[in-house]
Amino acid sequence: MASRQQPVLPLAQRYVNGVPVPEKRFSLRTSEKYFVYLIVLVFISLCYSALFLLPELRTRTTYVDAPEKMFQHNVDLPGGNKGGVVGHNPLDKTGEDIHGSEDKKKFRLQLRLDETLQRAKDALNGGMNMGKEIVQDSKKDGMGENAEKDDKLRVDVAKDEHKDVKEEVDQDKQKFLEKQKEEEAKRKEEQKEADLKKAEGNFEGVNLPDGEPDDEESKKRRDAIREMMLHAWNGYEKYAWGANELKPISHVGHSASIFGRSSVGATIIDGMDTLYIMGLKDKFLKARTYVAHDFHFSATTDLSVFEVNIRFVGGLLSAYALTGDEIFKTRAKEIADKLLPAFNTPTGIPYGLVNIKSGSGRNWGWASGGSSIIAEFGSLHLEFMYLSEITGEPVYRQKVDKIRDVLNSMTKPNGLYPNYLNPKTGKWGQQHVSLGALGDSFYEYLIKSYIQSGLKDERAKKMYFEAVEAIEKKMKQTSPGGLTYIGEWRANRIEKKMDHLSCFSGGMFGLGARYSNKKEHYLELGGQIAETCHQAYDNTATKLGPEAFRFEGRSEAVAMRQNEKYYILRPETIESYFVMWRLTHDQKYREWGWEAAEALNKHCRVDSGYSGIRDVYATKVGHDDVQQSFFLAETLKYLYLLFSNDDLIPLDQWVLNTEAHPFPVIKNWST
């Protein structure tokens, strides 16, 4: 029987009147034809692509094949690229993408490092495999003891060879890293140079007057003070750049405990504005470059809130006030922000120490049962008020206003402010009042806050004059020889002693006289304190003042104890000479200042700077080998201003903080 012809495609069963009808179909339906056409069309498209596109693709290099191509920009734009592409100028066939140049360098260096490491890995793997093959072949061939020794020797030789390869690769890696460091250092230096050129154009700042004195004698003396500054700065720059202070005899850096264990360039920050005021442009610009590129305030130990504020925050704010350079404001704010955790106390009275890494605060262990010290927490006002003024951020002002709120509301024993206040309980500590150590600058900041506010801070003025009246009533003394001094009050008993630190008060009383209804009285009191401190200088063999002096028996203004006889380049007496000169123009203040300058050059000057001395009464001095940062910030600045005209840092337009950093009077101060 002939075979039945099968249909081309499967058939669906059809029925007629319920009876299945056999059906044969040898053609495609319309939908099926379209499906076949689609398959043919796709096939033709693939053939076309293979014919016309694959040759071009074969000539291209992918980023996987050559990753360096990522940084090649060959872009053709309609009509050329005359204007450049936005954000890339230029970005055409003739130019280089300046935004990608640094990435290109880093990418190529990384490629070289990866290649070097891969070679090392391949060499080591190859050596290990070779050694294994030798041992396996030896065992397989059944070699004797001598053969095994030979094989071991061959393995050792192979290991040595591979060790040499590894050493070579390590050397290549080291060279690569050194070159990378060199290129990075070169890049930083280029950035510094560009930044320096930009800063040079802004050096004039607020355009300070030169302040050159009218008489020749004062000109010569002022030039001599400038030379002293250069001598101190050059020694530091040569032997201790970036350290906190200089040991000018040992020719190394030095750091006191107040700075923690970190080198944060205290002398640079503290001395910058003195350089600027003296017109030492090149030195100032180098200091500015350090602040902009190398200054990193990241100590990991406890730091003195007071010292960091007056030296670092104060020094940077002063540099900003004099130059208008934003970098100084930025750095000042960065540091002030790190001090803010110290204010986290129940009363708002800050701790004396803060760890800027952990944010924890504490007080000095010896400070009257965990108390804060009034000279420290009371000497933040000028800096924090000015910082809020120039940043527009009220937090700094709020912190110091809170301190004033607390102090103003407290009951004062006999109208006096004791040196210690517990930040947790808000109660006074030991009943000890001093215009020297522990108390001094608190009173200075009261009257200077009034001046800084444009004479609008009436609360500061009231607190100052009430405190001064109490001090006069309870602490002012007159020696049998007629010397006026401010003793120390200890629970209703007066200690007949003055610290060198309290010698600033001559200038403070004189400055406050301008704003008192008893002007002549306070001006006279300021002159009397300045004269007493001068006498303390004059009583020594070196004509430099001791750390403290007493009025006991026949001895007046003389240090009685060995631990009071040293001099560490302190500025307070010279500060009073300067302020009293500005207020009276009495020539004796310039003469006394010059005597101090001559004594400094005779007894404290060494080959690379200035050093403190251990005994001001000894004819043969012994040096302590420390050039304090405040010597450049305060002592030399006050001497320079003493021999300058009054238009250089006028005292009705500027206030100097307790580290002699000048801030301008705030014109738009508001309560």
Binding residues for Ca(2+): 658
Judge whether 188 and 619 are in contact, CB under 8 Å.
no
Q: What distance in Å separates the CA atoms of residue 74 and residue 71, rounded to the nearest whole number?
A: 10
Q: What distance in Å separates the CA atoms of residue 582 and residue 14, rounded to the nearest whole number?
A: 123
Q: Which amino acid is at 265?
A: G
Q: What distance in Å separates the CA atoms of residue 240 and residue 258, rounded to the nearest whole number?
A: 18
The token pair that represents 123 in the structure block: 């060499």
Active site residue ranges: 307, 440, 547, 572
Q: What distance in Å separates the CA atoms of residue 288 and residue 202, rounded to the nearest whole number?
A: 12
Q: Residue 88 in 3-state DSSP?
A: strand
Q: In the chain, count H helices and then E strands.
A: 21, 21
Judge whether 285 and 201 are in contact, CB under 8 Å.
no
Judge whether 301 and 355 are in contact, CB under 8 Å.
yes
Binding-site residues sit at 658
E strand residue ranges, 525-652: 548-552, 555-558, 605-606, 609-610
The residues, any chain, with a CB within 8 Å of residue 106's CB and separated by 6 or more, are: none
* Region of residue 265 (left: phi > 0; alpha: psi -120 to 50; beta: else): left
For tokens 């100028």, what's the residue? 89
For tokens 């379209």, what's the residue? 34
Alpha-carbon distances, residue 626 vs 107, 131, 183, 450, 521 (angstroms): 48, 64, 37, 36, 40
Sheet with strand 555-558: strands edge to edge: 497-499, 548-552, 555-558
Q: What distance in Å separates the CA atoms of residue 445 and residue 452, rounded to the nearest whole number?
A: 10
